[in-house]
Amino acid sequence: MSSTRKRVLVTGGAGFLGSHLCERLVAAGNDVLCVDNYFTGRKDNVAPLLSCPQFEALRHDVCFPLYVEVDEIYNLACPASPIHYQHDPVQTTKTSVSGAINMLGLAKRLRAKIFQASTSEVYGDPSVHPQTEEYRGNVNPIGPRACYDEGKRCAETLFFDYYRQHRLRIRVARIFNTYGPRMHPNDGRVVSNFIVQALKGEAITIYGDGEQTRAFCYVDDLIEGFIRLMAAPDEVTGPINLGNPVETTVGELARMVIALVGSRSKLEHRPLPVDDPVQRCPDIARARDILGWQPRVPLETGLKNTIQYFDRLLTEDKALAAVKA
Ligand code: NAD
Ligand code: UDP
């Protein structure tokens, strides 16, 4: 066994980000244990890894204690898209809070290093722009997004209390909107929705006037940020923003997707969801200075890769439906 080979646990490992992370960790020569309850994750996402002896998948809900032996833990388990996390809000909070307690307890017993996938949602609908890590946020604690936002905020609190109280080695990343292949086609997130709608020639659903902004990071860039943060010296606990600082309006994104797909889809305006943040863009000065990290993949390139992925997925679905008919 090489000295750099580690046993790494990835919770939520069959999800969009988790599956890319597992792939990256296996490629680097680590033993990877993927834990997932398959609420939003899919076995297909990790299917290519199953033939690899370094990779193992375990069905488990992080709301329950887990007894395994590992050196590092990446805690990603939690539905991330508004329609998924609002489907069973109580379970969403439990996943963030009980999941964090269980994984921190595991890390404490093993003296393992532990990473938390936190979110830009801890800033809520921000009144500071772009968002720095010092900004304490503007979250509505009783709104429909609160199960996710407050669950993630509480998880951050737990991470820092375990750090202070038990001297655990923690890493907290605040992830901003990320997109790429293996996003769930029905998760309602803006990039997957627009691409699927454009490929099917359906109307592109713009919520509100489309002037709200997000900053979209390609998945490969984000995973590089995870790896660098985990490898950083132990005094680097975070929280640290990871995201692409190039801000785009939802309307601009729609026009870009239509052009790249070559679609004839029309734009259709729908009501803006409750508590939908007006502006969101990360200040990544900390990640640049401390990790030497910044996104490299331009939006157009990332969208082209993602369009290719969904195009293949939709073609496979059609072929499957034709076989079943
Ligand atoms: P995803 O929904 O694709 O992945 C989440 C995974 O967690 C899924 O595989 C799901 O089945 C699993 N899961 C959910 N509840 C679980 C439970 N109780 N026990 C075990 N597994 C459970 O979402 P994603 O985009 O890959 O997000 C991964 C993490 O990153 C999440 O914690 C999310 O909050 C965070 N994040 C993502 C983004 C983004 O833009 N993708 C932005 C901010 C934060
Ligand atoms: N959005 C949209 N049309 C869609 C899906 C989302 O206009 O079909 C908007 C949504 O209201 C929000 C932005 O796109 O302003 C990003 O939404 P997403 O759910 O992807 O992420 P989040 O709101 O969590 O940042």
Q: How far apart are CA 302 and CA 313, in angstroms?
A: 17
Summarize pLDDT for 189-209 with one digit per residue, the tens: 999 999 999 999 999 999 999
For residue 218, indicate whether it is catalytic.
Answer: no
* Ligand number with the minimum distance to the CA of 153: 1
Cα 83 to averaged position of ligand 2 atoms, centre (Å): 10
* Ligand number with the minimum distance to the CA of 214: 2
Mean pLDDT of the region 24-50 = 97
Tell me the best of 10, 11, 17, 147 to mutate to test the pocket of ligand 1, counting ligand atoms within 8 Å of each CB and taking the most: 17
Give me the residue label for tokens 């592109």: 204
> Considering only CA atoms, which residue is closest to atom 21 of ligand 1?
36
Cα 52 to averaged position of ligand 2 atoms, centre (Å): 36
Whether the Cβ atoms of residue 163 and residue 234 lie closer than 8 Å to each other = no
Give residue 100's identity as a one-letter amino acid code.
A
242: CB partners within 8 A, 6+ apart = 173, 174, 175, 176, 217, 222, 225, 226, 229, 282, 284, 287, 293
Nearest atom of ligand 2 to the alpha carbon of 206: 7
Give me the residue label for tokens 């627009």: 194
pLDDT band of residue 316 (cuts 50, 70, 90) is confident
C-alpha 115, offset from chain centre: 13
pTM (2 decimals)?
Answer: 0.96
Q: Between the CA of residue 32 and those of 54, 57, 107, 184, 209, what are the distances in Å?
A: 6, 8, 16, 23, 44
Q: How far apart are CA 54 and CA 26, in angstroms?
A: 7
Q: Which two tokens stand for residue 269?
A: 């305006």
Any atom of ligand 2 within 6 Å of the Cβ of 184: no
pLDDT at 82: 92
Question: What percent of the chain stands above pLDDT 90?
Answer: 94
Mean pLDDT of the region 164-182 = 98
Is residue 321 over pLDDT 80?
Answer: no
pLDDT at 318: 73
Give residue 259's identity as a one-letter amino acid code.
A
Q: Which two tokens stand for residue 123?
A: 């800033």
Q: Which of the following is catalytic: 148, 162, 163, 179?
A: 148
SS3 213: strand
pLDDT band of residue 324 (cuts 50, 70, 90) is low
Mean pLDDT of the region 78-102 = 97
Q: Which two tokens stand for residue 186?
A: 């029905």
